[in-house]
A and B are shown apart, each in its own frame.
Chain A
Amino acid sequence: MIRIENLCKKYGRFEAVKNLNLDVRDGTVFGFVGENGAGKTTTLSILATLLRPTSGRAFVGGEEVTRNPSAVRRQVGYMPDSFGVYDDLTVREYLAFYGTAYHVAESLIESRTRDLLHRVNLEDKVDAYVNTLSRGMQQRLGLARSLIHDPPVLILDEPASGLDPRSRIEMKDLIKGLRDQGKTVLISSHILPELAEMCDEIGVIQNGSLVACAAVEIVTARANGQRMLGFELLEGGRLLGERLRPNPLVTEVVVQGEQRVEVLFSGSERQQVELIRELSLAGYAIKGVSEVAGSLEELFLRLTESDTKSAQIAQPENALPASRVV
């Protein structure tokens, strides 16, 4: 449904997006993760026909965004990271305005407004002025607005930013509901655990390049591919830390005291067993070793820490290329 080929976008000398390739299948929720300034919003803006790429191509529903932008606009519901609302318009009028702008038949607008407001839990606010709604309500109204023309594709840029926890949960549930309706959703966010719950696939973007892209399960497994091992000791944590730091299979060592040391281990399970045996023979008082579950947050931090680190992460045998993996 969404295809991006060698997309580049430059602002003067600054390259916001570099040779980005992406493929989002029909009916999937794709999470776009990256730090501020990584190129997420630029990419989404190109897909929403707000920006023209410097080079490369982007397609939505088979239509190229630069060649047939009006066809793309009809297929896309776009919600920017921050957006305003019009004063002196009621919720009903606000949705009716966008419905008419999207050429939705007048007869359909009223029923669709009712349905969408019910879905976003704003049906009792139909005659309220939009500027009197809370931030969370305005975000939900923004989502309803982006759905008024029933688009097959939704592009949501940080839809949960600035929302309180309750509103975030509501927004998450709404997006899950969209997936159930078969919509293709491209969503950017910093809230990775929430993305993991909502998304079928995620892509990590850094400095305008996609550094990882895969199904959520695979990415989580990949996070586990470079395992975080927790060593429980009777004593000698600091010495163990010193001993492990030069080890080529250990990427990171965190000494949490004399009784606990955590290490980021990139070796296989056999190498892990050999390391534990070697340490025991060396006289370290190890009570036990446990594997700390890898989270998306950790993966994200590791991937975006530096280019070198991300290159290291891409090396293991189960590493995924920086393109879509099914």
Chain B
Amino acid sequence: MRRKNRSRPVEVSVVTRAVVAKSSGILLQTFGNPLIRKELRQRMRSVRSILALSMYLLAMGAIAFIFMYLNVQGQTLLLQPTRTAELFTFLSYLQLAMISFVTPGIAAGVISGERERQTLTVLLTTPLTPLTIIVSKWLASISFLSLLIVMTLPLYSIVFLFGGVVPSQVIAVFWLQLVTLGAIATISVFWSTFIQRTGWATVLSYGTVAVIYILLGIAGYLIDGVAAHNPDASAWTDAATLCYALNPLFMLASIVERFGLITPVYHNTLAASLFSSVDAHHLASSGSWFLFLTVYLAGSVVLLGACAWRLRPGAFSVFMRRLLSWVAR
């Protein structure tokens, strides 16, 4: 009995060590990838990047400070938890907007830029696989924005000082932002690979983002209106939920509305009327998160695979031939 009790922690530690070793191995392999190292080195070396990071943090900090100052009017004791929640909501929307605007600008030139600089040809003659090239470029482009998001974590922690927001909300918002960032980066890398010119790739990336945010929102709103007049038409409601579920803005609204955070901020505004149509509890509980994550994660995998195929079409047949011979063995 005693032996059994002793052996359990040992087993756990072995498993933990194995998991840590495996994870660190994958991390080392990923970030030891020469292309990622080069991209990060190039990106972080420029003064522009350092300035962008500093300015962003300063701007977010200033916004948080002004927001809080205006609310308390210099008297910290008057700060209400609901006001902190408003700040959190405001910062979350601001950060999502930043991700949606900046990501195409960074990621839409990763492959087309290489093509324009005439460096892609040489890169393709190295033993780096097209998938490695695409994933490395994708990771490098999201790493900078991920850093921006992570950098604002201390800023978000200010809201914990005064209450009003629970950690699960912050985690949910960060997950949403990261998945949105990854999805928009994938879309931008896709256009960058399939379109020769960076300018056009950027335009198409912004266009796709606009479709996701604006068209899906309007479509959901209209379908919801139809559904309101046809209470029996559950298909309409499902269609509206699908449109909302694929729109990161509405998913963010579902998080903050679920906790009753949206109304004070967007009271009597167009956004409030739009978001009020979102049944936050329904969105949050109807598998919308599952849908959101599945569509964007699976879509990202498919699009990145298509990019790898486009980069070197022959590689796919070589891969399939090897796979078949491996299966045959």
Contacts and interface: CB of A to CB of B under 8 A. Distances in A.
A and B: bona fide binding partners? yes
B127 A103 contact: yes
B118 A82 contact: yes
Contact of B38 (A48, A52, A86): A86
B32 to A, nearest CB: 9
B34 A97 contact: yes
Contacts of B126: 73, 98, 101-102
Interface stretch (A64-72, A174-182, A285-293): A64-72
Interface string B122-166: 111111100000000000000000000000000000000000000
Interface stretch (A87-95, A209-217, A262-270, A295-303): A87-95
A73 B127 contact: yes
B230 interface: no
Given A66-B314, A69-B315, A83-B119, A89 B125 contact: no
Nearest to A88: B42
A69 B119 contact: no
Contacts of B299: none
Interface in B31-47: 34-35, 37-38, 41-42, 45-46
Given A70-B127, A89-B42, A101-B35, A83 B122 contact: yes
Which of A52, A74, A88, A101: most chain B CB closer than 10 A?
A101
A78 interface: yes
A82 B118 CA distance: 7
A76 interface: yes
Given A69-B315, A69-B318, A86-B42, A76 B117 contact: no
A145 interface: yes
A86 B119 contact: yes
A246 interface: no
Interface in A24-80: 48-50, 52, 66-70, 73-74, 76, 78, 80
A183 to B, nearest CB: 16
B34 A88 contact: no
Contacts, number: 70
B313 interface: yes
B314 A88 contact: no
A85 interface: yes
B121 interface: yes
B121 A83 contact: yes
A78 B122 contact: yes
Contacts of A97: 34-35, 37-38
Given A101-B35, A101-B126, A80 B121 contact: yes
Given A93-B41, A100-B34, A84 B125 contact: no
A145 to B, nearest CB: 7
Interface string B12-37: 00000000000000000000001101
30 contacts: A49-B314, A50-B121, A50-B124, A52-B313, A66-B318, A70-B127, A73-B126, A73-B127, A76-B125, A78-B122, A80-B121, A83-B118, A83-B122, A84-B117, A86-B38, A86-B119, A87-B42, A88-B42, A88-B45, A89-B42, A93-B38, A93-B41, A97-B34, A97-B35, A97-B37, A98-B126, A100-B37, A101-B34, A101-B123, A101-B128
